[in-house]
Amino acid sequence: MPVEPPSTRWRFPSPDEADEHGIVAVGADLEPGTLLAAYRAGLFPMRVHRHGPIAWWSPDPRGILPLDAVHVSRSLRRTRRRYEIRVDTAFEEVVRACADPRRPHGWIDASFVEAYTLLHRLGWAHSVEAWSASGELVGGAYGVAIGGFFAGESMFHRATDAGKAALVTLTGILREGGALLFDVQWTTPHLASLGAVDVPRREYLAALGEAIERPLPAVLGG
């Protein structure tokens, strides 16, 4: 079971106080207690730009991936068979791959790698990885699980559809484990191709409140 860290010393504003970009607050820290308090309040951290301050976001609308309506194309089904999918066997490697500075618009830096790796050690953050037949890590995704809620943070691929293969496997784990809400922050075209949709902030927050009360799927440490 996840280990509850010391409480944060920060108090976050209501998500309804977000500005037109979805930013609720700027500053604070990335301590485990701060991160968990933010996710439980419907917020997530991301730098405004690569070297900017930490901002806490609550977009409206919010992107989610409905667990009962994930779209897996025929080609993805075929490609997925090439990979061995594992859970939590290379968490820090996945985060570092997502933090590759060569990626366009990348903002994940060493402080985020360290913060989420610590959250992983406490049992709250998880990775799903795609491995090639030769044993190479070729794709993956990571995020934070609180009860029946999963906050997807980032994904990467080094081989065709490897990131998508990991993400689709994760949705199956969550669905079978009774999870209710998979947050993807914003509905990008890439995520929309898998079935991601936008929901109003108020609808998201209501679903979040119900989801975090659910038990954590067993394969993620429940």
Summarised one tens digit per residue, pLDDT across range 195-204 is 999 999 999 9
Using only the alpha carbons of the chain, give its radius of gyration.
Answer: 16
pLDDT tier at 122 (50, 70, 90 boundaries)?
very high
Same fold, 15-57 and 62-220: no
Angstrom distance (rounded) from CA 209 to CA 206: 5
> The pTM is what?
0.96
Which phi and psi (to 5°) does residue 27 adopt?
115, -145
Whether the per-residue pLDDT at 71 is higher than 80: the answer is yes
Strand partners, 137: 131
Angstrom distance (rounded) from CA 6 to CA 31: 9
**What is the average pLDDT score of the chain?**
94
The pLDDT of residue 105 is 61
* Amino acid present at 142: Y
Q: Which CATH architecture has domain 15-57?
A: 2-Layer Sandwich (3.30)
Greater confidence (103 vs 47) lies with 47
Whether the link from the prior residue into 53 is cis, omega within 30° of 0, is no
The pLDDT of residue 106 is 67
Domain boundaries, given as residue ranges, for the chain: 15-57, 62-220
CATH 3.40.50.620 describes domain 62-220: no
Query: What's the DSSP call for residue 45?
Result: E
pLDDT tier at 119 (50, 70, 90 boundaries)?
very high
Strand partners, 98: none
Comparing CA positions, the residue from 190, 24, 164 lying closest to residue 105 is: 190
